[in-house]
Amino acid sequence: MNISLSGKRALIGGSSKGIGEAIARQLANSGASVVLMARNVSQMQQIIKELDTSQGQQHQYLAVDFSNFEAFKSTIAGFFDTNTVDILINNTQGPKAGGPLEKSVSDYQEAFDLLFKSVVFTTELALKGMQQKQWGRIINVASVSVKEPLNYLALSNSIRAAVVTWAKSLAFDVGKEKITVNNVLTGYFDTDRIAQLNAKKSEKLGIPVSEVRSDMESRVPLNRIGDPAEYGYLVTFLASDQAAYITGTNIPIDGGLLKSF
């Protein structure tokens, strides 16, 4: 199967590193023009230089701060005043780790702005162009924790669960316009986020980081942590014409980590 995204334009959140960067690289490899969206301008500029342009793609970047919703709202609205996209990848950095007894109401509000409001607002703007074209792909980077909560990620568990149920409702409303909406449930991937969480767990338990990572790998049936490039392959398929009959779904990519169906 040859996946071609030639002529398509994608906006990818959190794409200066990790999973977002891997998605951007694979979409570009498949012919899409990509718009990177993150805080680290110098990193995005470097990635732009490295992205595939063999099919005449034109790549760019958009500097945003997801943790400041009002500033983000202004920046993203300005972008969509003069731009449309065919593919939207909703992805941000995760909120701070911690259990429910460690978090206050204000922590949940901040996480709501970061993980939910930014997604809904960006999607509403992107949908206008997709509806005009009668084609679109909305893919939300979520987590396996929406199905099996992780007690040390109370904020992420709660707010990402809201995102995936909202996405299911949206998929019903926009399906008739050939726009699909899907959630990817992320397992353990070799990213800075995992490294940070492992470092915090190492400090809390008083054990080496290497031991924390080994324990994490042992929990995965494939006995390893995922390569972000593998994530990019799945998202690229979901963004393609070949995935036109897949919508309203939660698709785990976790090496078999989830025990539930």
Separation of alpha carbons 260 and 173, rounded Å: 28
150 shares its domain with 25: yes
Q: How many CA atoms lie within 13 A of 117 on its CB side?
A: 15
pLDDT value, residue 36:
98
216 shares its domain with 248: no
pLDDT value, residue 167:
98
pLDDT value, residue 28:
98
pLDDT value, residue 193:
84
Q: What is the pTM of this model?
A: 0.95
261 in a domain, yes or no? no
CATH number for 31: 3.40.50.720
Q: Does residue 1 register a pLDDT over 90? A: no
pLDDT value, residue 188:
95
Q: Does residue 246 register a pLDDT over 90? A: yes
pLDDT value, residue 261:
77
105 shares its domain with 154: yes
97 shares its domain with 77: yes
3 in a domain, yes or no? no
Give the closest residue to 43 by CA, choosing from 70, 66, 67, 24.
Answer: 24
Instruction: State how many domains the chain has.
Output: 2
pLDDT value, residue 192:
87
Separation of alpha carbons 228 and 225, rounded Å: 9
Task: Convert the pLDDT of each residue in 47-87 to its tens digit.
Answer: 999 999 999 999 999 999 999 999 999 999 999 999 999 99
111 shares its domain with 30: yes
Reported confidence tier of residue 197, pLDDT bands at 50, 70, 90: confident
214 shares its domain with 118: no
DSSP-derived 3-state class of residue 62? strand
43 in a domain, yes or no? yes
Residues 116, 155 contacting (CB under 8 angstroms):
no
